[in-house]
Copies of this chain bind each other. A is one copy, B any other.
Amino acid sequence: MVRPSATARPVGTPRGVSLLGNDLNRYGLRMGRPIRTRRQATLASLAAELGVSRTTVSNAYNRPDQLSPELRRRVLETARRLGYPGPDPVARSLRTRKAGAVGLLLTENLSYAFRDPAAVGVLEGLALACEDAGVGLHLVPASPGREDVAAVHRAGVDGFVVYSVPDDDPSLAAVLERPVPTVIIDQPRVDGVDRVGPDDAAAVTELAEHLVALGHRQVGVLCMRLARERNDDFVSVQRQSAAHFHVQRIRLEALATAFSVAGVDWATVPVVERFDHTVDDGASAARQLLDAYPQVTAVICTSDILALGALAEAERRGLRVPQDLTVTGFDGISEAERSGLTTVHQPVLEKGKAAGKLLLSSAERVGPKIITLATELRIGRTSGPPRTVEEPWFGP
Contacts and interface: CB of A to CB of B under 8 A. Distances in A.
Contacts of A133: 141
Interface stretch (A153-161, A208-216, A254-262): A153-161
A179 B10 CA distance: 11
A140 interface: yes
A101 B138 contact: yes
Interface in A155-186: 155-156, 167-168, 172-173, 176-179, 182
Contact of A124 (B114, B121, B127, B142): B114
Given A124-B111, A139-B137, A151-B136, A2 B190 contact: yes
Given A100-B154, A114-B123, A151-B134, A6 B141 contact: no
A271 interface: no
Interface residues of A, number: 68
A2 B115 CA distance: 29
A21 interface: no
Nearest to A181: B6
B124 A110 contact: yes
A335 B131 CA distance: 28
A167 B5 CA distance: 13
A173 B4 CA distance: 9
Interface string A179-203: 1001000001111110000000000
Given A4-B191, A114-B123, A190-B2, A89 B154 contact: yes
Interface of A: 1-2, 4-7, 9, 40, 83, 85-94, 99-101, 103, 110-111, 114-115, 120-121, 123-124, 127-128, 130-131, 133-143, 148, 150-151, 153-156, 167-168, 172-173, 176-179, 182, 188-193
